[in-house]
Structure 1
């Protein structure tokens, strides 16, 4: 983990900022094309790093403030990587481990509590004051770790390798992802799909993107290589671990283990969210959309690239569900709209088609069935825009149009408002 990631992370249950505790680090210069310095770089070997300026909480005041240290040179965040440590929420003291450079920020019902307690006792405890160790144990003593709806699918993803016999061959594609020298069509489709997403993300150099369900992390890596401050999150660390081996230590984007229904990020830090062939694995998709909305700046946008509505009935999908227990759900535009209904800052969901316009086409419109058949994308591409001001204006115009249509026949103004609302 680079120290700059600390400026983005927050407790997934309360949204409180974290303080880095008991960290070890290594000198690993970052050679990527971007690199925003971290504002809270710990001094080497300290027990408790600096807190976010102006932020505090009950646990911080009671335990962390006594041991907190001043921040080091922000530029050191480009030269140093955090190997392990704890991220401790300033309000409740809920803590999460950083294991082999990747923070694990899963909700209580999905955590491996035995390994996390062992990590605290064996790795972190020798580095920090004894009173803080006791406080950290107490902070999680009464946590509700009971299962939640959809956890069966999530735990299947987290423990995927337990059901795989030939693990090396199963994971081997990730070492070259998205390429596969033995197969042309699938890698070519992935690359084409990624390229199709870029114009609709509307990115500029230095923008920040959340890559939700990043898998092997190649989409996160490519965004980073384009000069984007990219953060990849996946519910299982199986895939990001393979991706790290492919990328090498000096040129890795931010990678986090976490749940898209319980995003561990501060509000309003991302310019866009990309969910590339991953949203259909999420059990509670409306909950994930609400978390995306919170994490996005205003304005911001979400691009989904997903299989079609019949995806869960495909033979391959049925086999995956039966064998591994992973959720496979197809979706169409109406489904995506249903996931965002009630989110006030979102405009209507849109489906994107990239098609040729033939010389004998009607100049007004092409039937949806023909758009699907001709589309170059080969996937369902959906765009959702967060723009609170524009959404309020559109609703106001809609109210005016509705009131007028109720009292008089549609006139020129009504037709104009109708065209505005359809855009």
Structure 2
């Protein structure tokens, strides 16, 4: 587990990173990349959307271009204070401080769940994804953006020491284990040589699909001897 896959470490990290986050983020997860992901996600005007790991509100701002019913959750008070300055505490967005692995919402509470730049800090990503499935309505979709695993062996060792990086096959495994279907992956990059993002969009089974999906994924999990990946973050 990387050093930032510890929730206390991640909170401390963002206490300081929050001061410059918006200036740094624009070179890694750009507005154009965000807007492409939003297009793929196909948000409807009446959708109720949860932004898990909303941070300073960069993705939140994009979500508000599609729907007025946006809810943001994050574990970092310092990051959220930046978002409050942009949107107010209860004006355009309803904010919550909480943990991605223990979402403080009822079952089937949202039409869609979005999370960008958060999964890499979750100690138990499959548990968090299972929470996403719980709070999204049957048939609803989720979108998660995380860091794609680097190709260079030296960078791989460095990445593993810091936080969760994962490739398309690992993303597929995690989403399937959490019970999602219709899973698709997109690799995004600002420019050649810059860090790549892996954007995964998946659907929660509709009510008449759920039992079959659970059984299939349980069987797949029993056949997989590899230990679960672990990550850190709260939303």
TM-score where L is the length of structure 1: 0.42
Aligned match of 2:199: 381
- The answer to which structure has the higher strand fraction is 2
- Is the contact between residue 5 and residue 120 of structure 2 (CA under 8 Å) also seen in structure 1? no
Aligned match of 1:263: 103
CA drift of 1:186 comes to 0.7
Aligned pairs (5 A) from 1:20-419: 153-160=6-13, 164=16, 170-174=17-21, 177=22, 180=23, 186=27, 189-248=29-88, 251-310=91-150, 318=158, 328-344=163-179, 346-352=180-186, 378-388=196-206, 391=209
- Paired with 1:151 and 1:184, the residues of 2 have a C-alpha distance of 17
CA drift of 1:172 comes to 3.5
CA drift of 1:160 comes to 3.3
- Is the contact between residue 34 and residue 62 of structure 2 (CA under 8 Å) also seen in structure 1? no
CA drift of 1:387 comes to 2.5
Q: Which has the higher contact order (CA 8 A, sep 6+)?
A: 2
Find the structure with the greater CA-based Rg: 1
Aligned match of 2:227: none
- Paired with 2:39 and 2:168, the residues of 1 have a C-alpha distance of 19
- Structure 1 alignment gaps of length 5 or more: 1-149, 165-169, 355-372, 399-423
Q: The residue matched to 1:309 in structure 2 has which SS?
A: coil
Q: The residue matched to 1:196 in structure 2 has which SS?
A: helix
Q: Over residues 166-218 of structure 1, what are the superposed CA-to-partner deviations in whole Å (9 max), with x where a residue is unaligned?
A: xxxx54435xx3xx4xx79617x421121111123221112111111111122
CA drift of 1:318 comes to 4.1
RMSD after superposition: 3.8
Q: The residue matched to 1:262 in structure 2 has which SS?
A: coil
Between the two proteins, the alignment pairs up a number of residues equal to 208
- Is the contact between residue 312 and residue 328 of structure 1 (CA under 8 Å) also seen in structure 2? no
Q: The residue matched to 1:221 in structure 2 has which SS?
A: helix
Deviates further, 220-229 or 285-294: 220-229
Q: The residue matched to 2:64 in structure 1 has which SS?
A: helix
- Is the contact between residue 232 and residue 256 of structure 1 (CA under 8 Å) also seen in structure 2? yes
Q: 1:151 to 1:259 in 2, by over 3 A?
A: farther
- Paired with 1:293 and 1:301, the residues of 2 have a C-alpha distance of 9
Q: 1:263 to 1:317 in 2, by over 3 A?
A: farther
Q: 1:257 to 1:224 in 2, by over 3 A?
A: same
Q: Over residues 344-401 of structure 1, what are the superposed CA-to-partner deviations in whole Å (9 max), with x where a residue is unaligned?
A: 4x215321368xxxxxxxxxxxxxxxxxx99xx9521211111235746987xx9xxx
